Structures are given as structure tokens and as C-alpha cells.
Structure 1
């Protein structure tokens, strides 16, 4: 490979490498962006409010993370700015300064998918293309704007380019010695150049000093600095750069580096890194217009032409973002093809009916004219000319009264077919970036290139299907009881791939496939993949995947990724010894031939039982509802899964019928597969083994349909519809314990049979081992496994009650209710309700209300209360023991429930004194109307401060799962709250709101996010009081509820950011105060009177720089980095009088330069940061 071709290949690889990773996640990425767009539209249309913006921000956070992982830095930077803008706007009150931000977000939401689409098509990731959008988003947040130089800094790591700088032979002189000798000369020349003297002489002197230091450098970073400084000075001398304030500052900083070198030695470069200075200097090298030797070397070494492309290229890419997307072009192509199809159908009928009705052709002339105009608008002049020519010919046929021979009509139809074939390629060419790597069809005429690409796409599609079948067969053989089953089909599949690659002249790829085929053949002959070690198996898989990616890339029309073939060959090199080793393991041939009498062979054949067909009876083991280790299953986590499962079932019901009607609708099938995948994963996570394995069997079948390793058949479609209809029954089994109506084991067996290509899968039957005859006994109340879980959990909560009663013995009433007891009684009620144990719900509900009232009012239990608590605990234990025991007589606990209710109603609310306020003052406050109450600064006692909860740690993995679920719960909470506030008599909305908060509480506590769980509990408690008419739902209470729900959103954002969640003690205290019937201060609505209270900033949620995590190579967060750059840009430059004489002594020179550098901030490269009319600085030497 020549040097030029090597450079080109390296450039192509740099483009393809991120694209390779981006292509893998493109479908999920597009779906996430679509959902974010829908959320933003809800906000713009006034439907979702701030919650919709928060939802959009969460989705954009996922997009940003995915783009960072794929090293798509420009797109990731835009996604990050969009996320921050969503958070900022979400914290604002509706209608207050949102318009500009929403406009910028909407444009960005449209153009980000187009930008990603261009990258997938082979375009370069150029952050400068997105600069206008980035600055619009930052302006909406009131942040400093970015410059071109800033974006270069974000994408350049000079330490990684050290080896690119070709070191010249050094002088051998010590760097400190050279710097000490030449610094005065450098300072004199620098001052002279700054003051505008003999510019060329001063620049020549500076270049000589830089060259001497470059030659004496003993470190890479030192060498790079002076090498680049020499390049900047060369550009200044040749007129490639104009003198500017920023350049003067940068060269002044090089003098400071020289001072560090003299004072501290070469170790100064460790204590004072030059990365930022070097980045700034490289920006000017990239912007230089001259083409000197040193400038060209630096540009090539740091790849500056790629990092900072020309203005014309950037403008072209920006225009392309506003161009139609590939999806839109495909829609246009489909519409045009539909019109062409109508014309062809009419022509066909016209010929078949004897060509004697020319009036039928007249409407087709108008239709062809419409197609011609559309092609003209799209700029497809060549295709339009073809259509116009056929319009004239068809018009002649009409004018002649239909007289035409078959050849004329055939020619017209042939032209329409040719236009139809070339339409897709021509339209997509309008969206393909000009800088995309060229495909194998490059250099061919347009029509031949289109034909070649069409053939290549078809051939590669078949090759990929064959390769998918090979992967599937090997995978099955490694997990099957018969390892060699199906492996005999692999050689034919390999031969098919080789033939396709040979047809396209892909010789090297064909050789790699041939080597893979030989390895697999050796494995086949030796008894299957079990002959390979784990490392060898992994290398074989890597080789196959590399070939698959190569073929996918060629199929997409992009340049051939040779590096993937290199990777495949490297993997195969590890397998070179496999054939030799397996050959050595083969048994030695027998010394003599064994002869078996023919009669014995025939007799043995007669003893073989006939094959009755596997469809008649296949024995399977029934799956348990829950996994064996599910004794500690969390009911609230199971409840979360049930909620999610119902949403996925709705998605399946919505998408499956369209796929059944349209065999080619792969996108819908992928959506259905994703739902089964979610049910499988979430089910296994919560221990629901039966539904997890069932959904896996269906997902496995759908995977093979998507990979084209199975051919869709009507029985298979009917089976998928039947299997999907059984999923709600499995969810209902988890919810209430009823057995599904469908035969789940049979459906699982049939799913596996269909996936393996069994022709008898549709009529498969199964035998359950040791199946007992059906009994006449009544059905069980609850599934035994579910009962075991419920009983164990209930026993744990009842033990808490017994421990509390034991601790009260020997003491006098009243007895305070502990938080542990309160939680145990509350969870007892929730668990019984979820398990649908009605008798338990009645007793536990009455007990929970009594304990909660005593706990909230802090009255404490009397002796009668303890007796009631003990009686309730015994009753609940008996109720649980009676489940699935129809032989036992059921006790009536209605009197106990009435007794608990009377105790609850007999409690008197105590007079409560606000903490830190005199009782007399408290009485006055409680008499004030709610709207007149003001916030009071309360100093907490030392005890309260000491008991303030610390930030709790939580398991990151469980928290990540919880945040996904909580997004939907909080969204549903917002919706239910909105419905309830619109109509406070809507009991259904209130129940939905309490249910969502209850689920959120359980999930948060399970994930270890105690603060979020506690706040959810307080909100739920207040809602229960409102529902019981014990608290009035005043506007102040509604505002408090809204503020509390917003706080839950903030807590979730904190968890996503990986930070500890602080307890919202103030909000919880206000909720409890409202729940106790006291007027509370609403900080959001109360206005301070002038002069009474010092004005403070609003406590609205704001975006701090530390909240953002940059994906750039620099260490500091992106927000801090950009703010520092912008601050440096905004600072004034030290001004001076240019008429002062040049300082003569070295001390004076140093003082002058130090004064300049100390007075100026660190520079930010870029023409935008440069004042246009700023006077040149003058330096004055201070007297010694």
C-alpha cells in the first residue's frame, strides 16, 4: 500500500470506526429521539407542561450517553446542550422566557436525527456544523457562546499526537542553558513586535530562538511546543496570519514557559502543562492561509484539516442539515412509484384490450406531467427528461386515435421501469454527504453504478442471511443434546456466501469466508464445537461477526471496511492449530476390516422402532411460576413489573395485527420482539420465572424471523398471535394467582419447535411427567408459591408488632408509635391488598388507619390500644393460615374491625406548638387564615440538627432499574394530579394518584433511595387525609402537592446523575403540618412586604455546572470548561501607549512581560473572542 493510499485508508477508518458502533444502536437511538420529540411537542402544545420537558431531558440524557460511547462527539455535544436546555426550561414557570428556548430545542430536535443519519451514510462528525444550534441553545440558558476555537479545543488531545511530530536531530545543548542565554533576545524581539517596530526582523529573531529551543528539547511536550511556535511564527512571516491581540498573548505565554524552564528545569513541564497553550496555537496553525513546510507538517501531524475543515465545507454541511432526510426521500420515492405503477397498469390494460380506447390514456398524460413536475422540483433533471420524452410519445398515440404498435407501448413502459429503478438512488444521492467514503461503484457511470449497487445489495442480503443461519446452527449445536445436529448444512451455506462474493469480485472476503468454512468443516468432522477451547470459540465468533459487519457495510453502499477483514484474519490465525490438533486426536484406523454378516444387519434394522413423529408427544417439565430463590421476593417490585407488563401487552396488541397483515413490516415486528424482550428481562429480574421463560421462547422465534433464518408461514403467524394472547393470563397469575387458560408448556414447546424449523410444530402435543388425574377438589385460593411468599412477608411484619408489644411490657402508657411499627402495619395492608386477601385487607386496613392516626397525632397508645394491636396481629396470622385450607372454619372479625374504628375515631387531636415558637404566638398563627400565613425562620434545636438524616448510599444497578420505572410512574402521577386538580370530585384520579405514589414509595425504598420513598409516603398520607375529608384541598394544599411532586422529579434527576439524594425535610415538615390541620407557609406564593424580610433569590431548581458531565477529552466538566473559555474571551485586554521606548535591561523586559501576562486571563482561541477595534497593548517597565 502506498503512502497516499495508507493515509486515505486511515482517514476512511477514522470515519468508519464510530459509524460501526453508531450503526449497531441506530434503531434504538432513533426511537429514543422520536419519543423525546413527542415529549417536546406535548410541552409546546400545552399538554405536558414542565413534566414533558423533564421527560424529554431524560431521553436526551440517554441519547447523549449513547453518542458518547460511540465517540460521536459533535452529536453528543448537541444532545448535551439540548438536555441542559430542557432542564433549564423545565425549572422556569410556564410562559416566562420559554419561547426562544423551545424554538431552539424544536430546531435541534429536527436536525439531530438528520445529522446522525448523515454520519451513518459516511459523513464526518464536524462539531462546527452544529455551532449555530449550540449557541442558540446556550443563549436560551443565558450561557456564554462558543467559538470555533473552543470546539477545536474540545476535540484535540495533543498528548496523543506526540509521536506524530517527526523529531529532528537535536543540538545536544541543555535546554535550560539555551533558554537562559536566549530569553533576553526573545523578550526584546517580542516587545519590538508587539509595539510595531521592524516586524520582519523581530519575527525572524523569534523564529531563531524557537528553532534553538526546539533543537535542544529533550521531552516530547517541550519539542511540540517550540515546533508549533515556530509554525505560527512562519505563518506570521509569510502573511498567512495577521497580527492580533490573541496571538500576542499566546507568544507572551511562551516566554513565561521559558521562565519556568530556567527556574525549575525540564520538570517545569510536569508542573506547568502546555496542553492548553498548544491547543490555542494549533487553532491559528489550522487557520493559517500559507502552505509553508513547517505549517504543512504540523497540519498533517495533528490532522488539523479534519478537525477544523474549511468554511465552504462547513457551510455545505450546514445546508445539508436543512435538506430533506433519507426517510422523507423514501416517502417521496414511494409516492412517485405508486403513480408510475398506475400508469403502467393502464398501459398494460390498454394493450390487452386491443388498444382501441385511447381515451383511457388521457388521464395518464396528466399523471405523467405531475410526476415530471415533481422530479423537476427535486432537481432530478435526467429522469424528468425521460418522462417528458414518453409524454410526447404517449400524446402522439392519443392524437392518432389509439393507433400504435406494441413496440411503442413497450418502450414507454420500459422507460417508466428504468425511471422507477433509478429513482431511489437519485433521491438518496441528494442526501448523501459529498465527503462520504466512496463505495465500490465509484468511477462507474451513474446508471451502471445504480445497477451495480442494486445487485450488490441483493447479493449481500442473501449472503448475510446464509451467515445468520451458520451462526444459528453453531449456537444451537453448542447448547443442544445432539451437538452435530444441523452442522452438515454449513458447508452448503458457506459455498453460497463464497459464490456471492465471487460474483461481486470480493476476492479477499471470499478467501476469509473460505478459511472460516474450512475451520467449521474440521469441527464438524471431529464431533462438533466441543473440540474448541473457550478462547478458540470466541475467536471463531469474532471472525464470523467481522465478516458480517463487512457485508453489512458493502450492502449499505459504503466503502469496504478492510480493517474488519484484518480483524477476521487475526482471529483465524489463532485457530491455525485447531485442524492439526484435532487431526492428532483422531483414532488410529483398525488394522483389519471388521466384517458383519448381512443377516445381523437386517435383524438389527427390524428392531428399530418406527418414528412416530415428534408432533405426537413431547415430554416437558412444567415451569414454576416463580424461581426457586424467590423466597425474598419484594411484592412492591413485583407490582412494578405487573404495571410495566400491562404496558408492553398493550404495545403487543397494538403492533401485532399490522405485522400479521403485512409480512414485510420488519419495523413493527422488531417493536413486538422488543416488548417480549422487556417482559423476559424484567420477569427474570423479579423472579417471575414462568413468564420470563415463556417470553424468551417467543422472542427467540421472532429473532429468527427478523434475521431471515426462518421463513414466515401462515401457521407460524397464527401461533404468534395465539402466544401473544396468552401473556395477559400469565400476568394475571402473578397478580391474583389464577392459572392461565392457555397451556403455557405446550406453547413454549411449539415456540421452540417453530424456531428449529420443525414442520410439525403447529400440531405438536406434550406429555407432562407423572401427571396425576384431575381431582374434584375445589380450586385453591392462591398459588402455593405466591402464598409462601405472602406468608413469609406477613410473618416478618407481625413479628415487628410482637416485638413492639414485648418492649411495652412493664411500662406505663402512653406508648409512642415507632416508625418501624408504623411501616410494618402500612405494609401489611398493602401486601394483603396486592395478594387479594379480602379478609386480611379489612383487618389490616382498620389497623393501619388506627396506627397511622396515633403516629401522626403523637398521642401514643393506651392499654386498650395495645390490646387491639395484639388482637389484630393474631387475626391476621389466622387469616393467612386459613388460605388454601377450605376445611377450616373462617372466623368473623367484623367486631374487631368496628373496635379498631371506634378507637381511631375516639382519638383527640392534641394542641400542637410549632417548634421554636412561643405557645402564645403559635396560637395566633393557627388562627390566621391560610392566605395570610407567612414563612417564619425557625432555628431548629440542636437535637433536631443532630438527627438530620445523612445522604444515604444506594445500589447503582438497582437504582438504574428504578429510574427507568419511576419515569413512567412520575409521568402517570403528573397526569393523575392534573386530572384531580381540574375536577376534585374525580375519585378515580385520586385513587390513581395514591396508587402511583404508593408504588413509587415501594420502589424507591427497595432501591435504597430512602429520601424519595419517605417523601412519597408523606404525599400519599396527605392525599389519604384529603380523601377522608380530614384535610381541605385548598389552593395552598394543591400548590404544596405540586411542589412536592416536582421535588420527586428532582430526586430522580439526582439519582440519574449518580449523586446522593438529600432528604427534603422542609417539604416533609410542611406536608405533615398541613396533614395535622395547621395553616402552613407557602414559600412559592407568599410575598414579603418591603423592608420586613431581606430579599432572597428564588429557590427554583437551577442547573449547576457540576451537574453536567462532559464527554470531551479534557478532564473538567463541559460546563466549567466552556464557562472558563467564555470568561477568558470576555475580559479586557491591557491597553498601553505605543509611543513608549523599548526597555533595554533584562529586568525591565521581564517586568514588562510579567505585567502583560499577569494582567491578562488565559486566552481562548478563535476569531470570535477577539475585539475588533481594540488598540495594541503597550508595555511599560516598572522602576526597580
Structure 2
């Protein structure tokens, strides 16, 4: 088999692990708050402060391990403040201030974590005031606000097109520019007039911006040109963040001198560019170049103000959502029962409007305005509301319920994600049962109590059912993992041990971990684990059975293969033979499946009735005919699944007939169009069993057309 590149997990903030750890982190923070309250009541008890410090240390260590950079800074300042309180190294007049600052920080941390889960990024919202207050009260200098600014950068923003500079020229120029850069940066950070040094830095940054045109480092130097302009005219004063930016610039020049245009992995130039953007966007007056940089990166002063606001705690947000939902429900009940006069109605709508405004949902506000407009000047009759008002009220309630389901977070395609979660939860439970069966010496002993499928259905059949459900939901790659593992188990069922069995088990474990992560945080789940599972299965030993299975899966869908396997050879031979098929009726289908089967058949009939007239206007071997063939294939599969042999036989003959027609290269049979027209018009009666004698007539007509279109 061909060698493949090893797959590695992506770096960055691990939102899935954060979702798993969040309950534990919340308990630790609650414990720290309780200990701090006890310490305040007992005169700064060392034991209580020590327990509080220990809980905060656990939280900070966990956050750093998740890949967060900014939120752990608050935990670090809390640890330092608690340590000084323990050592009694703080003036008496500042002790209460620090105790209050620590309590504020403990209450801000959950809101910051909510913001990370909401946006998917370590934005740093609300951290600067808490951190800087604690530092001031401990007698330390505050941190620059730019260190806590994070702005999402588009992949191509700040990059220009054009010919790339050769590496040799970049090395030569960087060797000449490194010493002037270091000298000017030192002069800028030293006491005195920094304007001359800033102009020199600006000229060097402009030269480097030209050298790195079209490369990832270009926008960092573009931002430094604007920062140097602001420093040269006195718009900014050098601080800790600017010192770090200049140091990063020196490291990048040194990297360019030695390795040309190869980026330096240890320096995240985009992080420093975000800090530069804070200075440029927060400045009320900008030069033309500074304005160009802000527009290229899509940031302005309003963006800085929005990211500087403290985040809202999720519990407070959910409380507002529940209160809004309760007020909406009360308004609907009063309007449908006794009705409200104009003044009471306006007061109720105004209360709901204020809460929607606090939630920051403009679409919901527009919906409420439509409701107000419909109800304005009218008094609804008892038990009756305008249809448009009812539709908007119900839609608003559903939107509130969906957001409450996600604990206050804004989630795109929430309904689709909820359906996917339900599907994967069931697939994961069934796959865990399969894995337990494979691990147990005696498969039946590993079956959970009450799981009849684990006792009666073979492992390969269960894997096929899970794969069919996944393929139907559009998750083909996950289904392919199960299909490949199932095919290998079929081929090696006599000797399922060894290295290949370990690969199959590892692939199933990767898939189960991926689903577990999706259930915890569906928006941030990365499909790398599926790639790892497929790579593991790619090293399985090849067998004849695998080759046959691959050919089979290319010609027929997984759903059809599994359905035909379950029905058995007797049903298959009956369908292919020319003998009459037992008519049967819908009453013979199990009651639990009857309604679903009838509904699906009705949908297929409607689609056929829509496709056929358009095809009859210009009969050809086109996509419309292929679509009709797929609908008859669905009739066959549905009939086999519920035991409706009549529909299965009719779907089989119609599908085979259209297969022959599509494969043939001659003119279309003139009987094809009348046959399809008659068949589609009589399908409802054939499904319900009203015309059993007509069934054999249509079967024979399909066979006649099929025989006539043989190539």
C-alpha cells in the first residue's frame, strides 16, 4: 500500500477539552469564592486563603494546558495577590481592596470562559481592568491594554500581490538592517526624545515590508510602519507592549538574515500585529497610512470599544432569556384568553423589548416590532389572534428555546446541530456495544442488559446499520470507517486477532472519541480523528473479500446492500423471478412502521408526479430519468425494509427497466413514456393494495420494455 503522511492533531485553544473541564473549573472557582468569603469573615484566616490559593492554582494550570494565553494571566495575578495576603506583605489600607479585587477576579473568570466558548477565541475581554487593579493595589505598574486585545485577522488581509523577493536578497538586506533596528529600538525605549529613533524604525519597517511582499510576514511590517508613524508624531508613548513588538521585529530580522523568508515558528507575528492594531484603532486621529492599515484589517475604534467591554456571565444571560420567554408566554395566554387593552399590551411589549435589547439580538427586535405593528390599534377577539402575530410569537419563542438549549450561546444552524447530536449519540452508544462485543471472549456475555440487538444481531450487521444511518445523514467519511472495519471483520472472522485487529479497534476508538467530542462541543470539533482512523485502516492486509466489497460499494449504496442482506436470499430470488408476487396489503406491515412507510411512499409519488410531465415533453436519457430511477430504487428499499414484497417487486422491476434504458444507446422504446405515465398514476392504489390484479400487469409491462432495451 502507498505510504501516507502521518496525521497530527491541530494546535490552538482546545474548546472540546474546555467543554469537558468546564464543570470542574466552575466547582473550583465556587470553592475559591467560598473560601475567600470565610477568610474575610475570620480576619484573613491563613488556612482559608491557602485553600483559595490552591483552587485558583488548579484553575490557572488547567487553562494554560488548554492552550489559552490571556485568561490564565488573570489567574496568575490572583495567585500573586493571594500569596501576598498569606505572607501579610500588604499595607493594612490595601488589604480590603485586594480582597475585593480577588473576589471580582473570581467572578470575572467564568464570564471570560463563557466568552471563549461563545467566540471560539481567547479574546481577552474584561481582563485588563481586573488585572491592572490588582497590580496597582499591590504597588506594581499596570499592563498595557494592547496586550489583551485580540482581533480576528482574515487570511489574506494586509497581503499584496506581485513578484516575490528572492531569499538571497532578503538575507543580504536583513544583515544590513539588523544593527540599525536594534540601535533605534534601544534609543526609542530609553528616556529622551524618541521621535528620531521612531522615524528610523519606520524607514526600516517600510524596507522590510517591501522585501516580504506577498508573504505572511508582510502585514506585520505593514503594521509596524503605521506604529512608527504614530510614535514619530507623539500619538503613542513607548510601553511594555511596544517593547515586546520591537523585540519581535529584531528576532524576525535575525531570522531573515539567517534563513531568508522562512517564518520564525517561535514568534507569532499575527499576535503582535493585533497589538499594533489596538494602538492604531484606538487613536482618535490617524495618518493616511494608519487609516489604510485599519481598513485593510477591518478594525476601527468601535471594534476596540466592543472588545473592551466586560463579558456577560452565562447565568445572567440565561436568566434574561428565561424571563423573556416567560413574558412572551404570558402575553400569548392573555391575548388568547381575555385580551389586553392597548396600554397593558404596550407595557408588556415594552418589557420584552428592553430584554431583547439587552440580549443584543436585532433580528428578534425586528420580529417584536412586526408583532407590535400587527396588534397596534386592534383588540383581538377572545381565543383568536392574527395569524402573522401568532407565527412571529411562536418563532420568537423557538429562538429563545434554542438559545437556552445552548446555554445562552449564539449558534448558527442550531436545529441541524441538535439533529446531528441526537444521531451521533445513538451511533456512539451502538458502536460502544460493538466494541464491547469484540473485546469480550464470549460476545453474548458482553451485551448490556436489555440490549437485544447485541444478543441477536451480528457485529457486521450492526456496523452496517450504523454506517447506513451516517451515510443517510451526509457523514460519508465516518460511514466509510465503519464499512472498512466491517469488511475486514467479515474477511477475517475466523482469526480476528493480531495487528490488523488492533488497527480496526484503534480506528473505532478514534471514531468514538470524535463523536464524544462532537457531543461536547459540535462547533469546534475537528475531523482529524476521522483522518487518523482512515489512515489506520489503510494499513490493513488486503484480501479478496475487501476487493469484492469495494467493487460492490461503488455500484450500490450502503443502504441498499444492508437492506438486501437482512431480507435474505429467498426474498431476493422471489423479486428477480418472473413468477407472480403475493399481493399483500398495508395491514400486514407492522403498526410501528406503517405510518412512516405510507408517508415516505407518498413523498416519492409526489416527486415522480413532478418529474414525469417535464420529462415527457422531451424524453431522453437525462438527469430527470435517472432521478425517477432513484425514486423507484427507494420504493424497492422501503418495501424490503418493512416486508412489503409487492412494493419491493414493483420498485425492482421499474428500476431494472430504467437501468436497461439508461445503459442502452439505441432509440427510446415508444412504450416507455405511456408505461411510466400509467404506472405513476396508479401508484397510490398499488401501494394501498386496492388493485392487486393490476400489479402483475405492470410487472409484465416493465419486463417487456426491459427485454426490448437490451443492448
Q: Is the 8 A contact 1:149 1:283 kept in 2?
A: yes
Q: Is the 8 A contact 1:118 1:432 kept in 2?
A: no
Matched residue count:
481
Give the distance between the partners of 1:458 and 1:177, measured in 2 at CA: 55
Partner of 1:804: none
Give the distance between the partners of 2:207 and 2:174, measured in 1 at CA: 13
Aligned with 1:470 (options 431, 455, 474) = 431
Aligned with 2:309 (options 319, 323, 327) = 319
Q: Is the 8 A contact 1:85 1:141 kept in 2?
A: yes
Q: Is the 8 A contact 1:542 1:568 kept in 2?
A: yes
Give the distance between the partners of 1:567 and 1:377, measured in 2 at CA: 42
Partner of 1:67: 63
Measured after TM superposition, the shift of residue 45 of structure 1 is 4.9
Give the distance between the partners of 2:32 and 2:64, measured in 1 at CA: 18
Give the distance between the partners of 1:347 and 1:490, measured in 2 at CA: 57
CA distance change for structure 1 residues 318 and 497 in 2, over 3 Å: closer, same or farther? farther
Q: Is the 8 A contact 1:176 1:266 kept in 2?
A: no
Give the distance between the partners of 2:539 and 2:223, measured in 1 at CA: 56
Give the distance between the partners of 1:228 and 1:339, measured in 2 at CA: 50
Q: Is the 8 A contact 2:334 2:340 kept in 1?
A: no
Measured after TM superposition, the shift of residue 78 of structure 1 is 0.9
Measured after TM superposition, the shift of residue 64 of structure 1 is 0.5
Measured after TM superposition, the shift of residue 60 of structure 1 is 0.9
Measured after TM superposition, the shift of residue 37 of structure 1 is 2.3
CA distance change for structure 1 residues 24 and 291 in 2, over 3 Å: closer, same or farther? farther
Q: Is the 8 A contact 1:326 1:431 kept in 2?
A: yes
Partner of 2:540: 578
- Residues 604-643 of structure 1: per-residue CA shift (max 9 Å, x gap): xxxxxxxxxxxxxxxxxxxxxxxxxxxxxxxxxxxxxxxx
TM-score by length of 1: 0.33
State the secondary structure of the residue aligned to 1:142. Answer: coil
Task: Verify: 1:516 aligned to 2:512, yes or no.
Answer: no
Partner of 2:317: 329
- Residues 258-302 of structure 1: per-residue CA shift (max 9 Å, x gap): 9x99xxx989xxxxxx98999999965874667979x979x99xx
CA distance change for structure 1 residues 479 and 44 in 2, over 3 Å: closer, same or farther? farther
Task: Verify: 1:113 aligned to 2:103, yes or no.
Answer: no
Partner of 2:600: none
Measured after TM superposition, the shift of residue 369 of structure 1 is 5.0
Task: Verify: 1:19 aligned to 2:15, yes or no.
Answer: yes
Higher relative contact order (CA 8 A, sep 6+): 1
State the secondary structure of the residue aligned to 1:578. Answer: coil
Task: Verify: 1:35 aligned to 2:26, yes or no.
Answer: no
Q: Is the 8 A contact 1:347 1:413 kept in 2?
A: no
Task: Verify: 1:103 aligned to 2:71, yes or no.
Answer: no
Measured after TM superposition, the shift of residue 521 of structure 1 is 5.4
Q: Is the 8 A contact 1:460 1:551 kept in 2?
A: yes
Measured after TM superposition, the shift of residue 99 of structure 1 is 2.0
Measured after TM superposition, the shift of residue 231 of structure 1 is 5.6
- Residues 911-958 of structure 1: per-residue CA shift (max 9 Å, x gap): xxxxxxxxxxxxxxxxxxxxxxxxxxxxxxxxxxxxxxxxxxxxxxxx
Measured after TM superposition, the shift of residue 33 of structure 1 is 1.7
CA distance change for structure 1 residues 421 and 35 in 2, over 3 Å: closer, same or farther? same
Partner of 1:133: 130
Give the distance between the partners of 1:46 and 1:230, measured in 2 at CA: 55
Partner of 1:422: 399
Structure 1: which 5+ residue stretches go unaligned? Answer: 1-12, 154-165, 216-222, 268-273, 351-357, 398-403, 442-452, 587-1184
CA distance change for structure 1 residues 528 and 100 in 2, over 3 Å: closer, same or farther? farther
Structure 2: which 5+ residue stretches go unaligned? Answer: 1-9, 151-162, 260-265, 281-285, 358-363, 448-453, 549-711
State the secondary structure of the residue aligned to 1:124. Answer: coil
Once the two structures are superposed, the pairs formed by residues 73-472 of structure 1 within 5 Å of their partners are: 73-92=69-88, 97-127=94-124, 129-148=126-145, 168-170=165-167, 234-235=225-226, 242=233, 246=238, 287=279, 312-321=302-311, 323=312, 325-338=313-326, 370=348, 373-379=351-357, 380-385=364-369, 388=372, 395-397=379-381, 408=385, 416-425=393-402, 432=409, 439=412, 441=413, 453-472=414-433
Partner of 2:620: none
CA distance change for structure 1 residues 211 and 467 in 2, over 3 Å: closer, same or farther? closer
State the secondary structure of the residue aligned to 2:14. Answer: helix
State the secondary structure of the residue aligned to 2:442. Answer: coil
Q: Is the 8 A contact 1:211 1:230 kept in 2?
A: yes
Measured after TM superposition, the shift of residue 136 of structure 1 is 1.0
- Residues 334-367 of structure 1: per-residue CA shift (max 9 Å, x gap): 345456556777888x6xxxxxxx5xx6799969
Q: Is the 8 A contact 2:328 2:352 kept in 1?
A: no
Q: Is the 8 A contact 1:365 1:395 kept in 2?
A: no
Measured after TM superposition, the shift of residue 374 of structure 1 is 3.5
Q: Is the 8 A contact 1:138 1:144 kept in 2?
A: yes
Partner of 2:361: none
CA distance change for structure 1 residues 583 and 136 in 2, over 3 Å: closer, same or farther? same
State the secondary structure of the residue aligned to 1:127. Answer: coil
Q: Is the 8 A contact 1:42 1:52 kept in 2?
A: yes
Q: Is the 8 A contact 2:427 2:466 kept in 1?
A: yes
Give the distance between the partners of 1:143 and 1:237, measured in 2 at CA: 28
Measured after TM superposition, the shift of residue 71 of structure 1 is 0.8
CA distance change for structure 1 residues 35 and 488 in 2, over 3 Å: closer, same or farther? farther
CA distance change for structure 1 residues 582 and 419 in 2, over 3 Å: closer, same or farther? same
Once the two structures are superposed, the pairs formed by residues 668-817 of structure 1 within 5 Å of their partners are: none
Q: Is the 8 A contact 1:85 1:140 kept in 2?
A: no
- Residues 436-470 of structure 1: per-residue CA shift (max 9 Å, x gap): xx84x4xxxxxxxxxxx235414422332332331
Measured after TM superposition, the shift of residue 113 of structure 1 is 0.5
Q: Is the 8 A contact 2:321 2:400 kept in 1?
A: yes
- Residues 130-177 of structure 1: per-residue CA shift (max 9 Å, x gap): 111111122232222212465689xxxxxxxxxxxx983255799699
Q: Is the 8 A contact 2:177 2:204 kept in 1?
A: no
Name the structure with the higher helix share: 2
CA distance change for structure 1 residues 576 and 56 in 2, over 3 Å: closer, same or farther? same
Give the distance between the partners of 1:338 and 1:278, measured in 2 at CA: 45
- Residues 295-345 of structure 1: per-residue CA shift (max 9 Å, x gap): 979x99xxxx79xx7653343133251x3x333333343345456556777
Q: Is the 8 A contact 2:123 2:149 kept in 1?
A: no
Give the distance between the partners of 1:510 and 1:276, measured in 2 at CA: 36
CA distance change for structure 1 residues 527 and 314 in 2, over 3 Å: closer, same or farther? farther
Give the distance between the partners of 1:461 and 1:488, measured in 2 at CA: 24
CA distance change for structure 1 residues 461 and 290 in 2, over 3 Å: closer, same or farther? farther
Give the distance between the partners of 2:331 and 2:197, measured in 1 at CA: 78
Partner of 2:659: none
CA distance change for structure 1 residues 430 and 409 in 2, over 3 Å: closer, same or farther? same
TM-score by length of 2: 0.52
CA distance change for structure 1 residues 388 and 57 in 2, over 3 Å: closer, same or farther? same
Give the distance between the partners of 2:531 and 2:352, measured in 1 at CA: 49
Give the distance between the partners of 1:174 and 1:413, measured in 2 at CA: 69
Please report the RMSD computed on the Cα atoms of aligned residues, expressed in angstroms. 5.9
* Larger of the two Rg values belongs to structure: 1
CA distance change for structure 1 residues 339 and 519 in 2, over 3 Å: closer, same or farther? same
Give the distance between the partners of 2:325 and 2:203, measured in 1 at CA: 70
Measured after TM superposition, the shift of residue 72 of structure 1 is 1.2
